[in-house]
Amino acid sequence: MADSKTAGNLPERLRVRAGSRVRLKESDADRVLGWEEHAAEAELEAIRPRLGKLQYDLYADGRHALLIVFQAMDGGGKDGTIRNVVSAFNPQGCTVTSFKAPTPAELAHDFLWRVHRHAPRRGEVAVFNRSHYEDVLVVRVRELVPRAQWRERYQQINEFESLLGHNGVHIVKFFLHISRDEQRRRFEDRLRDPRKQWKFGPGDLDVRKQWSEYRRAYEDALSRCSTEQAPWYVVPADHKWFRNLAVARILEETLEHLPLRFPKPRFDPAKIRIP
List strand residue ranges (DSSP E) for 48-93, in order. 65-72
Contacts from 95-98 at CB under 8 Å and sequence distance 24+? 95/120, 95/124, 95/125, 95/126, 95/127, 96/126, 96/127, 96/129, 97/126, 97/127, 97/128, 97/129, 98/129, 98/130
Q: What is the pLDDT of residue 1?
A: 43
Domains and CATH numbers, the chain: 4-259 (3.40.50.300)
What is the average pLDDT value for the chain, to the nearest integer?
A: 95
Q: What is the pLDDT of residue 202?
A: 85
Q: What is the pLDDT of residue 199?
A: 87
Helices (H), 97-137: 104-107, 113-116
Stretches where the chain sits below pLDDT 50 are 1-7
- Contact between 23 and 217 under an 8 Å Cβ cutoff? The reply is no
Reported residue count of the chain is: 275
